[in-house]
Structure 1
Amino acid sequence: MTEELAERVQRWIAGDPDPATREELHGLSDAELTDRFSGPLTFGTAGLRGPVRAGPNGMNVAVVVKTTAGIAAWLIEKGLGGSTVIVGRDARTGSEQFAFAAAETLSAQGFSVVLLPRPLPTPVVAFAVRALGAELGVQITASHNPAADNGYKVYLRGGSQLIPPSDAEIEALIAATGDAVDVPRTIVEPSGTDIAARYLDSVVALPRSTRRDIRIALTALHGVGGELATAALRGAGFRDVQVVEEQFEPDPTFPTVTFPNPEEPGAADAVLALAEEIDADIAIALDPDADRCAVGVPGPDGWRMLTGDETGALLANYLLSDSTADPLVANTIVSSQLLSALAPARGARYARTLTGFKWLVRAGDGLVYAYEEAIGHCVDPNVVRDKDGISAAVVLADLAAGLKLDRRTLLDVLDDLAVEFGVHLGSQVSRRVEDLAEIGNMMRRLRSEPPTKLAGRPVAVLDYADRDDELRTDAVEISGPGLRVIVRPSGTEPKLKAYLEVVEQVDNRDDLTRARATAGELLAELTTFAQQL
């Protein structure tokens, strides 16, 4: 260990208010300490996120206190001292301790802190910030990350996520904060607010179909969404909701899944098995903090989960069938191009944003729906200005129930959309790395030696880093006739992601099988390319 690193470690230990993490650092090897002190956690796509461990680049009490002190200083600089702030948490390892540390730090700086009384879904915090007129909200969560992780998500006034330049301003103030042990903290009692009940009232009012007799299989994936999701569905009139019992109660170890993300292979197996066993109409899987929703459907080859883009097209088509004048819908640069064709055909405006709901909910006036391919859906932007798996589940149940009345299914609607707009078939390839520097190396290689052809078709390359508009970001788009690949680093995980899409036109309903087979062959070629990046 270098002398400089040894001094940094000792300074951190002396300034850490938590005896457990102080002791943890004392027991680490030089290599482990080099890793822990390689740099601080920074605000990514959805705030801070990282492993629960001691040191400046882990989630621990010292990092939470210093982060919150920086946020408090930022609010005071903006003339918002003494304002109301919301602090919530999920049920992950460390969430309760971190939530109390954040609330106590804010309280000591004179803020009126509403500390939510129990683990609750992330959308409830987004709702609370808006409903209570708070200036800021904090949710302790790592969403669908592996069990070892936790995080710190920030909402601004109105209930939308933190965006630049506020994130950089806060990071500068965090860096200027002294030792965590010297940051004042005042004891905060959890609030008796009925905010969860108020949230439920808004969700149960969403359905518009008169039909309710469908059977729903639901999993909470060991997260905090089970109780509110079943209450919302049943409160909206969907009485036949059956749950995956072994995944219903919150459990921070996520014992039945490798990655607690409904998109991951195998994560939704239990709910699909339940759906088949009980002859359900749809299956719904929430991620651990219930801000994402995936839906499963029965088909000719058995049950399968729809992709986020398929669900996005279904919800957009449904919500636009009964929307306000001049509505706006939005998705991200890595989501399907289908929405850009569907929107004008349904009399709506369309917007394309950078990845993340912090951008989607700011897409423009008149927003009625926004989604991203990572199973995130905002179906009620005037109430929750973020993705919300519970409200999305209720609207999907409403859609499925209305279709059942006409002896139709979600797959029938997807067929309709394919005939009208062409088969849009998408996929994603993720390259997880141990060394974050490798992500930058892969992006540099792609930029320096871009392909001129993919799947035998000529392609053009667009580097989003060269743009001078609101879509400027670290991403590269490769596109040609009927195909598109977008490559970008993940904002929340150590991954390089490639988003693939092919479009095959359809002559008529009888041509669907041929078009889907052709699209599948082309997508397989794009997948091979992405796996070799």
Structure 2
Amino acid sequence: MEANIQEKAQQWLDGPFDEATKSEIRKLQKENPEALADAFYKNLEFGTGGLRGIMGAGTNRINKYTIGMATQGFANYLKKSVQGEIRIAIAHDSRNNSRSFAEITAQVMAANGIRVFLFESLRPTPELSFTIRHLRCHGGVVCTASHNPKEYNGYKAYWSDGGQLVPPHDKNVIDEVNRITSPEAVKWEGQADNITLIGQEVDDAYLDMVKALSVNPDIIKKQHDLKIVYTPIHGTGITLVPEILKRFGFTSLHIVEEQATPDGNFPTVVYPNPEEAEAMSLGLKKAEEIGADILLGTDPDADRVAVGVKNHKNKWILLNGNQTAVLLFNYLISARKQKGISSDKDYVCKTIVTTDLIDRFAKSHGIRCFNVLTGFKWIAEKIREHEDELNFVCGGEESYGYMIGDKTRDKDAISAVALICEMAAVARDRGQTLFDELISIYQREGMYLEKLLSITRKGRDGAAEIAAMMQQFRENPPRAVNGSPVTAIYDYQLQQAKNPKDGTTAPITGLPKSNVLQFLLADGSKISARPSGTEPKIKFYFSVQDALPDKSRYDELDEQLAGRIAAIIDDLKLQ
């Protein structure tokens, strides 16, 4: 084992750490040196979104010491940035140790003289974002690892606007966290009277806000018996989703009971990720058994939502994140117009790897569509940039995250579930299904098909492999893919767009640097590559398109487009 790893492990054995932590390290030394090396080969990085990692002892793990040290760094930055009383809101999800980590965060903040508003029990991440603004806080923290496997936990930091940290605050907080090199630098206890528990009153304010987003409550009254199946996948959604659907007026909600109880072991799924069909399998089974109209599932911290519907063959399918975004954006834009509440100041926002079909129909509706980097913090930043001059309608990304209205500044599955059910009720009122609506959009604007391919590379070697893959694409980009010439290369790290035919370049403006590459092909296809910021993965996004002149050709065109994506993946030798 490398000497520096042995030295770091010994420092923990000799240092001010509890006996349970030291016992775990000694056990790894004897039984699993490889796991010990992974636990200590580096410090868990506090990135622009906070911390996320495997729970356990070590500098590269989520534990009470890494949580406490991160909190001390965040507290130090808040004290440098805010004059007068500092206020912060704290929440947590259903993961193992999340309550403990949230309480440690609260204790450290309180010991630093910061007034803390701590939720009395688990709550969805979007409610934390709302609460920051509602209680006029200067920041917030939620202890969650979103949809990662059960071994993970994390720490997401927010600023006063309710969005995750963006420049300059992200880098400044990182600098402060990196200055905390020992748990001895942490104020662990003191000033406990700075902590106030919050609960129902904030829940009601949040739910009232979401209820006000409804565009067609009159139609819900007529279609109140829309048969809805919902699964929280053992997460926080159970705290608010049933209540918001009740407040919207829906009377036929059927919860997947096997997944209704919050449980950090996520006993019924391999991954608690609604993007995975396996995680939604119990919901699909129930939806089919009871003859439901729609199925919805949220991830452990209830910021992402998956949707199941019946297709044109009366077969249950799961929509992908792009399809749900297309339906939701289209509904909100068109319904607001029909109600006479739209404005020429309205705009929507999406990420650069989300379907360009949204750009196309937004243009058809005469509404602005902004594109930002991956992550809702950039959508939140766009709202802040334009909040005095434009009106934000909705935002979204392909990874099942949506945000309606600007009172919450992070993706919000609670409001999304409610508006998706309203959208389904409006469709049913017209004798349509959501799948019918999707086909109609394809006929009008063109049919797009997208696919995400994630390649996992864990540990020290995995990070190097991912970096090498990006370097290879950057230094030796393809000239053609699947027989179609590459017409443009967008390198967001270099902030440069290149025409490979003549070598000319143009600057990419308005977006920060990011390690993302995009290749546009002559046939309208788009390929994007980016390393994940929260998981040991590199992600490839594929988008292909063609005209759908008649709905009778849907199956044929769907097969052709899927074949084109498969050929692109094969040509790039990604599988």
What's the TM-score bracket when you normalise by the shorter of the two chains? over 0.9
CA distance in 1, matches of 2:380, 2:153: 24
1:420 CA displacement? 1.3
Match of 1:24 in 2: 24
Local SS of the residue matching 1:465 = coil
Cα deviation digits, residues 69-105 of structure 1 (max 9, x gap): 0001101111346311011111211111111111010
Letter in 2 for 1:204: K
1:457 CA displacement? 1.0
Q: Equivalent residues in 2 for 1:385-400 (5 A)?
A: 385-400=409-424
Asked if the contact 2:46–2:70 (Cα under 8 Å) also holds between the matched residues in 1, the reply is: no
- Choose 321-330 or 242-251, whichever is displaced more: 321-330
1:265 CA displacement? 3.2
Closer, same or farther in 2 for the Cα pair 1:76/1:15, shift >3 Å?
farther
- Runs of 4+ more than 6 Å apart: none
Local SS of the residue matching 2:28 = coil
2:394 to 347, 356, 369: 369
Match of 1:98 in 2: 101
Asked if the contact 2:89–2:140 (Cα under 8 Å) also holds between the matched residues in 1, the reply is: yes
1:111 CA displacement? 0.6
Asked if the contact 1:221–1:286 (Cα under 8 Å) also holds between the matched residues in 2, the reply is: yes
2:214 to 207, 217, 232: 207
Asked if the contact 1:332–1:355 (Cα under 8 Å) also holds between the matched residues in 2, the reply is: yes
Identity %: 35
Asked if the contact 2:94–2:234 (Cα under 8 Å) also holds between the matched residues in 1, the reply is: no
Asked if the contact 1:117–1:191 (Cα under 8 Å) also holds between the matched residues in 2, the reply is: yes
2:197 to 191, 195, 208: 191
Cα deviation digits, residues 171-228 of structure 1 (max 9, x gap): 2212222521452223465514421222122223332322222010000011111131
- Choose 320-329 or 460-469, whichever is displaced more: 460-469
Local SS of the residue matching 2:435 = helix
Match of 1:463 in 2: 491
Asked if the contact 2:277–2:318 (Cα under 8 Å) also holds between the matched residues in 1, the reply is: no
CA distance in 1, matches of 2:92, 2:291: 35
Letter in 1 for 2:348: V
CA distance in 1, matches of 2:176, 2:281: 45
Aligned residue pair count: 532
1:319 to 332, 351, 362: 332
Letter in 2 for 1:95: S
Local SS of the residue matching 1:487 = strand
Return 5+ residue gaps in structure 2 as ranges: 337-341, 496-507
CA distance in 1, matches of 2:308, 2:270: 19
Asked if the contact 1:204–1:233 (Cα under 8 Å) also holds between the matched residues in 2, the reply is: no
CA distance in 2, matches of 1:405, 1:31: 59
Asked if the contact 1:66–1:180 (Cα under 8 Å) also holds between the matched residues in 2, the reply is: yes
Match of 2:457 in 1: 433
Match of 2:426 in 1: 402
CA distance in 2, matches of 1:301, 1:500: 27
Local SS of the residue matching 2:240 = helix
CA distance in 2, matches of 1:43, 1:175: 8
1:498 CA displacement? 0.3
1:134 to 134, 137, 142: 137
Match of 1:65 in 2: 68
CA distance in 1, matches of 2:306, 2:48: 21
Letter in 1 for 2:360: A
CA distance in 1, matches of 2:571, 2:277: 21
1:306 aligns with 2:319: yes
CA distance in 2, matches of 1:267, 1:301: 22
Cα deviation digits, residues 440-461 of structure 1 (max 9, x gap): 1111222233222222111133
1:471 CA displacement? 4.9
Match of 2:284 in 1: 272
Q: Equivalent residues in 2 for 1:134-173 (5 A)?
A: 134-173=137-176
1:511 CA displacement? 4.3
- Choose 471-480 or 291-300, whichever is displaced more: 471-480
1:176 aligns with 2:179: yes
2:91 to 65, 77, 88: 88
CA distance in 2, matches of 1:259, 1:25: 27
- Choose 320-329 or 256-265, whichever is displaced more: 320-329
CA distance in 2, matches of 1:75, 1:471: 24
Closer, same or farther in 2 for the Cα pair 1:80/1:48, shift >3 Å?
farther
Cα deviation digits, residues 395-449 of structure 1 (max 9, x gap): 0010111111110111111111111111010011110112221111111222233
- Choose 191-200 or 81-90, whichever is displaced more: 191-200
Asked if the contact 2:48–2:171 (Cα under 8 Å) also holds between the matched residues in 1, the reply is: no
1:262 aligns with 2:270: no
Letter in 1 for 2:73: G
Q: Equivalent residues in 2 for 1:213-252 (5 A)?
A: 213-252=225-264
1:449 aligns with 2:455: no
Local SS of the residue matching 1:268 = helix
1:487 aligns with 2:500: no
1:394 CA displacement? 0.2
1:7 aligns with 2:7: yes
Q: Equivalent residues in 2 for 1:111-126 (5 A)?
A: 111-126=114-129
Closer, same or farther in 2 for the Cα pair 1:340/1:463, shift >3 Å?
same
1:31 CA displacement? 3.6
1:513 CA displacement? 4.0
Letter in 1 for 2:537: K
Asked if the contact 2:529–2:540 (Cα under 8 Å) also holds between the matched residues in 1, the reply is: yes
Closer, same or farther in 2 for the Cα pair 1:122/1:15, shift >3 Å?
farther
Closer, same or farther in 2 for the Cα pair 1:448/1:136, shift >3 Å?
same
Closer, same or farther in 2 for the Cα pair 1:311/1:4, shift >3 Å?
closer
CA distance in 1, matches of 2:573, 2:50: 29
Cα deviation digits, residues 106-137 of structure 1 (max 9, x gap): 10111111111001111110010011110000
Asked if the contact 2:232–2:299 (Cα under 8 Å) also holds between the matched residues in 1, the reply is: yes
1:256 CA displacement? 1.0
Asked if the contact 1:137–1:154 (Cα under 8 Å) also holds between the matched residues in 2, the reply is: yes
1:335 aligns with 2:393: no
Local SS of the residue matching 1:472 = coil
Cα deviation digits, residues 152-182 of structure 1 (max 9, x gap): 0011002011113322222221222252145
- Choose 196-205 or 262-271, whichever is displaced more: 196-205
CA distance in 1, matches of 2:141, 2:573: 37
Asked if the contact 1:62–1:181 (Cα under 8 Å) also holds between the matched residues in 2, the reply is: no
Letter in 2 for 1:379: I
Asked if the contact 2:5–2:41 (Cα under 8 Å) also holds between the matched residues in 1, the reply is: no
Asked if the contact 1:16–1:22 (Cα under 8 Å) also holds between the matched residues in 2, the reply is: no
Return 5+ residue gaps in structure 1 as ranges: none
